[in-house]
Structure 1
Amino acid sequence: MTVPAADWTNTRLVEECLRGNEQAWNVLVDRYKGLVFSIPIRYGALQQDAADIFQAVCLDLFNELPRLRDAEALQGWLIRVTTHKCYRWKRQQPSLSTEWDDQQVQQVSTEGLPADLMAELEKEQLIRQALAELPARCRQMIELLFFEQPPLAYDEVARRLRLAKGSIGFIRGRCLKRLKDILESKGF
């Protein structure tokens, strides 16, 4: 069985998934987990609720994969399905149920998402994909410097990556340049 690579297109990953390649499924889920998980969080879901929504979306993806017409449009499909599930989740919340009626939930699937939200989610996903293409050390450094809350000091980053503190700034610059180049190659 072919071992999937992170840089495979969605089309190739979907084809491998349909052939029963479990590793391809893992790569596909890993590629979009940040995107899918971020949407319920934006809608105010707690971690556990977001995880439940994520699981439901993955189940839908698994079931609908054979009927997916355009694998390269998968990202948009995932955004729509996840947003729809978020609206349904929000409607089921006791304190929020009066805010969302059936007509509003139906509008999500028929009208689509606001263009600005769709664009923002697509940008975030593009950044996630670019980060995944970085060498492991660069990815770890960028995550430690920019995604940790609260942000980590150079001393702590150096300790975790087993690097000299004085080299962090230089390596950070190189890693950010690589990230910028990857993003530019993707049209960001």
Structure 2
Amino acid sequence: MIRRIPDTTWTDEDLVRACRAGDQTAWGALVDKYKKLVYSVPARYQLPPEEAADVFQGVWIDLYRDLDRLERVAGLRAWLVTAAARRSMLHKKRRQRLLKSGDLDPQFPDGAPFVDRLFENAQREQKLRDSIGRLPERCQRLVRMLFFEHPPRPYSEVARELGLAEGSIGFIRGRCLEKLRKQFEQQEE
């Protein structure tokens, strides 16, 4: 079975508009696009997995409920991080109260370095997805087929689907990766 990443050609505005119209595929793509970023926030607060899952679910329920009131779609990413941080803080405060009262045993040692790396990786992955979305259509499709599908597609199949000569795939891949590198570096600035 081939697992495909969400269509990076959809902007947040496209996704939100489609979600507001009731498109479940768009909702799935929106959640898939930001799931690692949202989940990385409770991880940064060092919440145990079950509490992190509660935060994750709560953020998406809040967004679904408030989607029609979301004024700045361009600020969606910040909205998600803020909502996840607020929910994470509430969980952390509740956990600390329970620890102080003796009603809860600490489950995790300090994992800050691991959690920081997890958060950084989620942010880097989101930047990569955003960078891919800024590539020309042919490069987006080529990069997705060669690097984000499991198993990766053979050059012959990629060439056939894109209408290219098989011998040109390696050269075009190099040019597309160079464009991707530049897009990614622009986001780093």
**Backbone CA RMSD of aligned residues:** 3.4
- Corresponding letter in the other structure for 2:49: Q
Partners of 2:13 and 2:98 in 1: CA distance: 39
Q: Structure 1 unaligned segments of length 5 or more: list them.
A: 99-119, 142-159, 164-169
Instruction: Verify the 8 A CA contact 1:35 1:125 in the aligned structure 2.
Output: yes
Q: Which range is displaced more, 78-87 or 42-51?
A: 42-51
Q: Residue type matched to 1:183 in 2?
A: F
Q: Is the 8 A contact 1:91 1:97 kept in 2?
A: no
Query: 1:138 maps to which residue?
Result: 147
- Matching residue's letter, 2:74: E
Q: Which has the higher contact order (CA 8 A, sep 6+)?
A: 2
| Residue 20 of structure 2, aligned match among 18, 21, 28 | 18
Residue 90 of structure 2 corresponds to which residue in structure 1? 88
1:68 equivalent in alignment to 2:70: yes
Q: Which residue pairs with 1:180 in the alignment?
A: 181
CA-CA distance at 1:178 after TM superposition? 5.8
Residues 137-186 of structure 1: CA distance to partner in whole angstroms, max 9, x if unpaired?
32369xxxxxxxxxxxxxxxxxx7699xxxxxx9xx95864641441465
Where does structure 2 lack aligned partners over 5 or more consecutive residues? 1-5, 101-119, 134-139, 155-169
TM-score, normalising length from structure 1?
0.59
Give the CA deviation at 1:55: 0.4
Alpha-carbon distance in 2 for matches of 1:136, 1:93: 44
* Partner residue in 2 for 1:51: 53
Compare 38-47 and 80-89 and name the one that shifted more: 38-47
Query: TM-score, normalized by length of structure 2?
Result: 0.59
Task: Kindly name which structure, 1 or 2, has the bigger radius of gyration based on alpha carbons.
Answer: 2
The residue identity in structure 1 corresponding to 2:181 is: K
How many residue pairs get aligned? The number is: 139
